[in-house]
Homo-oligomer: A and B are copies of this chain.
Amino acid sequence: MGRTSDARKNILSAARSLIAERGYSALGVAEICKAAGVPKGSFYYFFESKEALALAVVDEHWAAQRRDWARVLGGDEEPLARLRRLFAETEAGQRAAQDACGTVSGCLFGNLTLELSNQAETVRHRLQEIFDEQVDMVEAVVVEARERAEVTVPDSRAAARAVVAQLEGQVMFAKLYNSPQWLSPLWDNCLAMLGATTPR
């Protein structure tokens, strides 16, 4: 099965694709191992359970996405321009996934929230932490924009939460209609929700 580190990486990568395609519950360990090209017997050498694998997939995906979000939201542009770039990159990411596999796969965290949060408390807890981190990152930008009098929203935390909720809701529609362009109104919706002081 090649080097040990490759086998673990292959299982993670196969699980990531299969979960995006078909969800978590529909998958069996045997199928994941087959897609990864790894003997089924070795699965439990790397992961205690299918749930432990789901957590590892979530952690790996968030590590990559957090880097992207930090790069975009912590960049040199004006605060609202950074938020706009986040939406544009999200739309581009969903478009790239659609080009690669034919369907918009949506947000891994949103998908697993709706599928799993009432069944696996460890997954629920980890997803809460991730969405809290997303809200933290958006809130920092909202606070900056408010200091520059570019937005008027009174409660920066609630506003950041609403922006992330709007993003998840529109990503859901992009998946439902299999069309990334459902993400395009995000920017205008977000400006309105934040009470932007000038049109952009």
A residues sitting closer than 8 Å to B (CB atoms) are 21-23, 25-26, 103-106, 110-111, 113-119, 124, 127-128, 131, 153, 158, 161-162, 164-170, 172-173, 175-178, 185, 188-189, 192-195
Cβ contact of A166, chosen from B21, B128, B158, B166, cutoff 8 A: B166
User: A145 to nearest B CB, angstroms?
Assistant: 15
Contacts of A167 in B (CB 8 A): 169
Could you name 7 residue pairs across A and B whose Cβ atoms are closer than 8 Å?
Answer: A105-B118, A110-B114, A115-B115, A117-B175, A164-B169, A165-B169, A192-B192
Q: Are A161 and B185 in contact (CB under 8 A)?
A: yes
Q: Report copies per complex.
A: 2
What's the nearest-Cβ distance from chain B to residue A141, in Å?
A: 17
Q: Cβ of B26 and Cβ of A177 under 8 Å apart?
A: no
CB neighbours of A106 from chain B (8 A): 114
Nearest CB of B to A163, in Å: 9
CB <8 Å contact, B176 and A127 = yes
B185 touches A113 (CB 8 A): no
Known: A170-B165, A192-B192, A193-B192. Contact between A176 and B115, CB under 8 A?
A: no
20 new A-B pairs (CB below 8 Å) besides A23-B116, A106-B114, A166-B189? A23-B23, A23-B25, A25-B25, A111-B114, A111-B115, A114-B114, A114-B115, A117-B178, A124-B176, A128-B177, A158-B185, A158-B188, A161-B173, A165-B169, A165-B170, A165-B172, A168-B168, A169-B169, A189-B193, A193-B193
